[in-house]
Amino acid sequence: MIPRLSIVVPFYDVERYLAACLDSLARQTFRDFEVVLVDDGSRDGSAAIARDFCARDPRFRLVTQENQGLGPARNTGVTHARGEYLTFVDSDDLVPRHAYELLVGSLDRTSSSIAGGNARRFNNTSGVRQSYVHRIAYATDRPATHVLEFPELAVDRMVWNKVYRRRFWDQFDFKFPAIRYEDYPVTLKAHIDAVTVDCLAAPVYYWRERESGESITQLKFQIGNLEDRVVSAERVLDIVDRKAPGLRPGVHGHLAQIDLTTVVQAFGAAPDHEAPALLELGRRLTRRLLPEVFEKASSFQRMEYYGLQSGDVELLQRLARFRADGGLAAGPRARRHPVLPWRFRGHYPGLPETAGVPSEVYRLSRADLDLRAAVTELTWDDDALIVRGTAEIHHLRATADATLRISLLAGTRETPLESERFDVPDARGEQRPAGFTARVPRELLASVAANRGAVQLLATVRSGRVRRRKLINSQVQYPAGARIADDWFQPVRANDGRLLLRRMNGDPELTGAVADGDTLVLTGRLPGAVDDPVLRLTRAAREIRVPLDLGPGGVFTARVPAGAVVDAASPDDPFLGRTVLIPKIGGKLILITGLDRAVSVPHGDRMLSVSRSPGQYLNLIEAPARASVSDLGIDGDLVTVSGPCRPGVDHRGIVWRRFLPNSDDAVDTVCRITDDGVTWSAEVDLAALGAADETDWTLFARADGELPYAVQVETFALTGLPRRLGRHRLYARAGTLHLETS
């Protein structure tokens, strides 16, 4: 029988990743598919892995060819595909189990030409996180839309997070060019030619970011790679000019931000003999881009553009090295105009104006001199919320005579807060009075009118003639809330980064959790009567109902058997092998008000654990039994992390791991391990991690016969991060624990 869906998977020398990729396809809940494997001349053991899958599962078929590159290999796969629908998977990536059920189901309902979904980036050191280029286009479900109606789709440049109607694919005769970055010209043309497109907010693709520089995207500074990038960009520009001129501003801006920036960055590492070719590539692309792209650019980008137009290779090399060394995070110091004191110029190290760059290129606009204010730590004492953070005007040096005011903003009402300034390393690493501590009294929060909803913090900084005001952002991932009178106040990070202090009432509350064998016993209270006294646990394509045992005063108890939840064959996250379930009562999320540690129960080699969201709502996580961190700290020169012992888990192999540049190989620093059967602990001296170099270490667990994995930090422990001791910083990135030496 002809399958409904054809999945084309080209591969070339990916034996380290291919089996995991194909296993994620074999586990799909949508079963009516074929996988067309295209061996593009692999020299390693990839073909043997592919043949093994074909022997075990008749839905997998293998096609071989001489090495021609990813684009032609995809075209070969399409010629052998028979399905009603068509999709593509890169051989080092993963596909969530419900992906094709969601995408094909959407096309069946809407009759659109394409259905696309959200994507996640993943690797060991950075965990799983939102893909930057997909964050806007797939923020919400949008059935039957179009790129001309929703222009954000114009920068959705990847081919693999989509299912295409095969009749549509053949009608417009889509072909991948024999270049790298072959996706964008095909994807953009498909978006334009489509009748309608379905956008799904659910993640349907996991995009691997390797620790090394082996993949195409991470070898981006090679001259051949850059040539293909520019050719791809030119094809995209041709498509827009010919078929959708209204998309020019967005597409041109995207190419300037991503592709042109990459070409200029290459000057920092390219040998001198490649400089002329790089210069020509940069000029080719800038000649095609709209002038207003550069008129709206930052001063740094204007200098890059000037360097390309003037042919100043030395300037481009300096700019590229400045960017590579992290200079843009701090920016250049501002200098006043010698004649017009209200104007400022950016003074880039090693880039004096005598280099011949016109002074206008150095000009810093008012927008460039913006206030950067962020909270780095939030703690509660008996009287107040203690806020620690940094505030500095970008490009200006923080000085003792500058003034800082922190205010609580409720609607339009500002209330100044008691605050102090102190020296911290600023954005350039200099000890400057850019740090602040402010106290938000509990009484003040309680006095804010209930109808105000969330309140915010406002920073006002004056440095000389420059005065800036800005709402304060938050860098705290999992802040703790507190009860004030009858209400719960919860610090949260808004989608745009702002810190919100949100008054919470009317939600069900979790006041406790304990383990009873392999059952989680949850206790709490309800804000009022509920029509359906059931705890509902929801995930991508399933709902589990757990009855509530109700007591006086709205108290409830729910017994959640791990066996009813554990689903080892179909975790939603194909990389971490776990599923996050969202508990609700009466359609409402459950606020955690009486628990500050995770509680877990085992079920075979899996665990069911109580967790919390960034907004302090209850989550349940079903995952493999692995080492996890519940406590951490820095004491003098000693870093200690610890966590609960898990049945069947070897906790003796906890190490701090640093990956070598341009390699998947790593250096491990072994920890001193203690294990009393209840808690394991791992200690390491900071000196053993190499204090002289800028390094980033990730906590790993390794055991005989198993693949090493990055140790996750339990969400309750994330309230204590980040922590800093001198040049060292302990922090989490997408749940993985890092120790950074700066």
> Which strand (E) or helix (H) includes residue 468?
strand 466-471
Q: Which residue has the higher pLDDT, 674 or 368?
A: 674
The tokens describing 87, both together, are: 């999709």
CA atoms within 13 A of residue 177's CA, in its CB half-sphere: 18
**pLDDT tier at 354, thresholds 50, 70, 90:** very low
- Is 371-502 in CATH node 1.10.3470? no
At 70, the pLDDT band (50, 70, 90 cuts) reads very high
Rounded average pLDDT over 19-35: 96
Compute the average pLDDT of residues 488-495: 93
Rounded mean pLDDT, 503-517: 94
pLDDT at residue 335, rounded to an integer:
74
466 against 217, higher pLDDT: 466
Per-residue pLDDT of 414-448, as tens digits, reads 999 999 999 988 877 788 999 999 999 999 999 98
Q: What is the pLDDT of residue 219?
A: 60
Q: Which has more confidence, 143 or 209?
A: 143
Q: How far is Cα 497 from Cα 452, in angstroms, rounded to an integer?
A: 20
Distance from C-alpha of 280 to C-alpha of 286, rounded to nearest angstrom: 10
Q: Which of 116-120, 393-397, 467-471, 621-625 has the lowest mean pLDDT?
A: 393-397
Q: Tell whether the model's pLDDT for residue 360 goes beyond 90.
A: no
Domain boundaries, the chain: 5-208, 220-323, 371-502, 509-624, 628-741
Predicted local distance difference test score (pLDDT) of residue 222: 83
Assigned CATH topology for domain 5-208: Spore Coat Polysaccharide Biosynthesis Protein SpsA; Chain A (3.90.550)
| Cα dihedral 601, 720, 327, 255 sign | positive
pLDDT tens-digit readout, 590-648: 999 999 999 999 999 999 999 999 999 999 999 999 999 999 888 888 899 999 998 88
User: Which is nearest to 489 in space by CA: 518, 450, 458?
Assistant: 450
Q: How many helices (H) and strands (E) does the chain have?
A: 17, 48
Query: What 3 state SS string does 33-94 have?
Result: EEEEEEEECCCCCHHHHHHHHHHHCCCEEEEEECCCCHHHHHHHHHHHCCCCEEEECCCCCE
Of all residues in the chain, the percent with pLDDT exceeding 70 is 95
Segment 471-480 shows an average pLDDT of 93
Is the pLDDT confidence value at 341 over 90? no
Q: Which of 27, 34, 62, 28 is closest to 46 using CA atoms? A: 62
Predicted confidence (pLDDT) at residue 452 exceeds the cutoff of 90: no
Would you state the pLDDT for residue 218? 45
- pLDDT tens digits, residue range 127-174? 999 999 999 999 999 999 999 999 999 999 999 999 999 999 999 999
> Which pLDDT does position 296 carry in this prediction?
81
* Overall average pLDDT of the 713-722 stretch: 90
Residue of 444, 357, 459, 361 lying closest to 406 (CA atoms):
459
Q: Which whole number is the average pLDDT over 224-251?
A: 95
pLDDT tens sequence across 287-318:
999 999 988 887 788 888 988 998 989 889 98
Strand partners, 432: 424
pLDDT at 397: 86
The CATH classification number of 509-624 equals: 2.60.40
Instruction: List, for residues 318-334, the tens digit of each pLDDT value.
Output: 888 888 877 777 777 77
Average confidence (pLDDT) over 201-225: 75
pLDDT class for 531, splitting at 50, 70, 90?
A: confident
Task: Fill in the DSSP letter of residue 152.
Answer: G
pLDDT at 213: 42
More confident site: 358 or 630: 630
- Record the pTM: 0.90
The answer to whether the Cα torsion of 355, 360, 361, 363 is positive or negative is positive
* 509-624 and 371-502 share a CATH fold: yes
Query: Is the CATH number of domain 628-741 2.40.30?
Result: no
Mean pLDDT, range 219-234, rounded to an integer: 88
Burial class (CB in 10 A: 0-12, 13-18, 19+), 478: buried
Buried b (16+ CB within 10 A) or exposed e, 598-623: bbbbbbeebbbbbbbbbbbbbbbbbb
**Helix boundaries (H) for 124-222:** 166-171, 183-193
Q: Mean of the per-residue pLDDT values for the chain? A: 90
Least confident range of 27-36, 195-204, 639-648: 639-648
pLDDT confidence band for 198 (50 / 70 / 90): very high
For 442, 523, 561, the CA distances from 511, given in Å and listed in that order, are 22, 6, 19
pLDDT at res. 721: 84
Is residue 661 over pLDDT 60? yes
**28 CB-near residues (< 8 Å, 6+ apart):** 95, 97, 98, 99, 100, 101
What are the structure tokens assigned to 64, written together? 């071989």
What percentage of the chain exceeds 90 in pLDDT?
A: 69
